[in-house]
Structure 1
Amino acid sequence: MKPEPFIPEPLPPSGIDWITHIPLIGAANAALARFDGLLQSIQNPDLLLSPLITQEAVISSRIEGTQATMRELFLFEAGKPAESDEKKQDIREVMNYQNALNHARERMKTGPLSWNLVLSLHAILLDGVRGSSFVGIVRNIQNYIGPIGASIEQATYIPPPPDLLPEMIHNWEEYLVGPEKDVLVQLAVLKGQFEVIHPFCDGNGRIGRMIVPLFLMEKNLLSYPSFYISAYFDRTREEYYSRLLQISQTGDLNGWISYFLRAVRDQALFNIVRASDILSLYESTKSLIPQVIRSQYSIAVIDTLFQRPIISSTNFLEISHIPPESGKRILQKLRDAGVIEVIREGKGRSPTIYQFAQLVQIVEDEAFV
């Protein structure tokens, strides 16, 4: 028997158990406020938090099956070719995710989070990769979720038919800009409804996860859109999918809301540790680098290493804008002092590739991923 498409109730939803959620609402908001307090103390978040953007892009893409790691992405940016065409495609998907987040951050400096912005994020996310035939447009076909190769009769979930999407998207956006008793519960509902509607042929999960930090900034719970939640969803992937599925199968929206609030609480605490580690490393590096290189280019060196913790000698000169001869001497001093390590010695036209190992270790630490 062919399963039927699920038609969700319009927003705002009925039946939210506010009393049950009160403890988690308080804990999640408190943890998020602590994280935002840390963000406000960072003078240059675009630089220092860029590794967290990379981490979010890698993990959110990994949830959807992309196999690129942070190290592979860093090495590719440093000029090391991908091992295969498939790996190159995976890396491109992660880079698109980074570009979409950066685009959103710039757009939201002058305008609100809106459906038009969501469409532009989707166009960037799928540019030149799998699913690129449907970039930036709402689906006009009936899609479904199920095992690879499964027919619609074997589907785990069938979202609403395409003719209902315009009305549902309009309703979703009205709820996005409207009031609610608690912003985090509102965000949980928006994220859940977005996944239930499944408005695109591909990229729904990644776009849905992008919306989380953007909405928090829109509602002034964050001063900078850097609350990345994919690590929690990845660690608890089975429950993540189960809670979303229960919305359609049993109508258990409250189970999803509780799970989402736990995710915000726990990931905020993880993010505090990770961002604090990066900030501490930056402060210690600001003291160390001038002593090591004794050059007017100290700040340029520090900023370049934090922007690209794995970098080729060529990229180092391009990004730092340090004159070539001075740059070569600085790289040698950094290498001699153990600030950077060689991953690949230069040979012929291939430049030497270095890593700023202390920062790489922080962002790759699986204890926080």
Structure 2
Amino acid sequence: MNVPPLPAGQWAPVPRLPGIPEALLREGAYLPPPLPSDLPLPAATHRLVAEAEHALGRLDEAAARLRVRSGLVRATQVRDAQASAGLTGVLIGLREALAADLLAGRGDPPVDRSAPEQLLSPYLSAYDHGLDRVRRGAVVDAGLVGEMTAIMTGRPGLGLRDLLRREPGVLGVRPDRPYLLTATGAHLVAQLEQWSTWVREEDEQPRLAKIALAHYQLEVLQPFPTANGHVARVFSMLEMVRCGLLRDQVLPLSVWLDDTLPEYEERIRAVVDTGRVHDWVGFFARAVRDQALAQLRLVGHLEELAERYARLLPRTGKLPEVAAALIGFPVVDHRAVRDRHGVTMKAATDLTRRLVERRVLVPWDFRDYRRVFVCRDVLRLLADDPDTTALP
């Protein structure tokens, strides 16, 4: 099938920018063409999109059966926030990220601005805000994307136009390897409005293919001076929920994109250079398919682990209940056990002691001498098990 490429974009001259290669300065800042209302895709790309949508459906059904679905959702959000923090050069381990989220949920933020709670909280708050708005019927357009950007950058309530970039932008996570300059000015405002209109329109395009196209366009528009890499990712997640591919945030897409970041950047640049957007759609569909299948395997392993704990522990009392909850919430402290399971602090202390004795939990002294307890079996599945990771 002979697939027509996207029309060529426009290039605008840019002033000299420190640290930018001469070739990019000569090329100028890119302004993409508007997205077409209808874009034919090759049969091979349609197959990849169908496989990805099927994998999402299987994942959604498996997650719904999981006893601690809410824990899977939160772990996915923390992993995505961890990846988003990594885009800004802040590396936080998953154990630290889960412990930080546990403590941040107490409503007692730390004074230290570099604390993991402070670094992850804006992303998690943005996810919660976006999901709440979508569930109340909002469209994932520039307005909602702007609201989430304001939260992620610590400026909640700021209007969209006040958030927009006013200087040429630079794409490329590594500062020593930028791969595209992006345009600004009135054209940016008009293109963002066109993007919103395109996203809201109903058409015959497969849902995931449309999400992939909108993701690409949002990436190269780079509408905001900060948080742009996170914005396209969180848009994709929310749109999957809004259009019914998923019921909740159970796909850590950012994790896969981080693992393939050099190829991700190459694919974006290739669309700019060639207009062959179907190659990008295929790449995006493979990412979603592979991550959904990895997450599906994760759910299966978590169910097996829950069964193993059930065989290991007494069948009655609070102990098996606490152990079952660890499948979704693998980092706890005495207070979390008390509040989650309705027991006294003394009983919570005794329950964690017994789980430590059975090697279900291990103690860990988190920051400021705060003792938390970690279920290593679950952490290994979330972060280190090759069977639950979509390796590129």
Q: Which residue of 1 aligns with 2:181?
A: 158
Post-superposition offset of 1:96: 2.2
Q: Which residue of 1 aligns with 2:14?
A: none
Written as runs of structure 1 = structure 2, the 5 A alignment for 1:1-369 is 2-12=26-36, 16-42=40-66, 44-77=68-101, 87-88=114-115, 92-115=118-141, 116-127=143-154, 137-145=162-170, 156-178=179-201, 179-285=203-309, 288=312, 290-291=314-315, 294-296=316-318, 299=321, 301-302=322-323, 305-306=326-327, 308-344=329-365, 350-365=369-384, 367=386, 368=389
**224-233 or 198-207: which moved more?**
224-233
Distance 1:239 1:13, change over 3 A: farther
RMSD over aligned CA atoms reads 3.3
Post-superposition offset of 1:314: 3.9
What per-residue deviation string (whole Å, max 9, x for no partner) do you get for residues 271-309 of structure 1?
Answer: 111122223334544565554xx535754x347534542
Post-superposition offset of 1:332: 1.9
Post-superposition offset of 1:246: 1.9
Distance 1:117 1:282, change over 3 A: farther
Post-superposition offset of 1:195: 0.3
- Runs (5+) with no aligned partner, structure 2: 1-24, 105-110
> Letter of the aligned partner of 1:126 in structure 2?
T
Classify the secondary structure of the residue corresponding to 2:363.
strand
What per-residue deviation string (whole Å, max 9, x for no partner) do you get for residues 22-55 of structure 1?
Answer: 3322322222222223233335522333222222
Are the equivalent residues in 2 in contact too, given 1:64–1:205 (CA < 8 A)? no
> Letter of the aligned partner of 1:231 in structure 2?
V
Are the equivalent residues in 2 in contact too, given 1:304–1:320 (CA < 8 A)? no
What per-residue deviation string (whole Å, max 9, x for no partner) do you get for residues 192-218 of structure 1?
Answer: 000011111111111211122211121
What per-residue deviation string (whole Å, max 9, x for no partner) do you get for residues 172-229 of structure 1?
Answer: 1122122232111111100000001111111111121112221112111223232221
Are the equivalent residues in 2 in contact too, given 1:180–1:186 (CA < 8 A)? no
Distance 1:91 1:260, change over 3 A: same
> Letter of the aligned partner of 1:111 in structure 2?
G
Classify the secondary structure of the residue corresponding to 2:150.
helix
- Count the aligned residue pairs: 355
> Letter of the aligned partner of 2:213 in structure 1?
V
Are the equivalent residues in 1 in contact too, given 2:150–2:163 (CA < 8 A)? no
**264-273 or 96-105: which moved more?**
96-105
Distance 2:129 2:314 in 1: 34
Distance 1:336 1:140, change over 3 A: closer
Are the equivalent residues in 2 in contact too, given 1:48–1:278 (CA < 8 A)? no
Distance 1:6 1:345 in 2: 46
TM-score by length of 1: 0.83
Distance 1:19 1:359, change over 3 A: closer
Post-superposition offset of 1:242: 0.7
Distance 1:356 1:198, change over 3 A: same
- Runs (5+) with no aligned partner, structure 1: none
Of all paired residues, the percent bearing the same amino acid is: 20
> Letter of the aligned partner of 1:295 in structure 2?
G
Distance 2:366 2:271 in 1: 53
Are the equivalent residues in 2 in contact too, given 1:122–1:135 (CA < 8 A)? no
Distance 1:345 1:186 in 2: 43
Distance 1:77 1:31 in 2: 29
Distance 1:12 1:197, change over 3 A: same
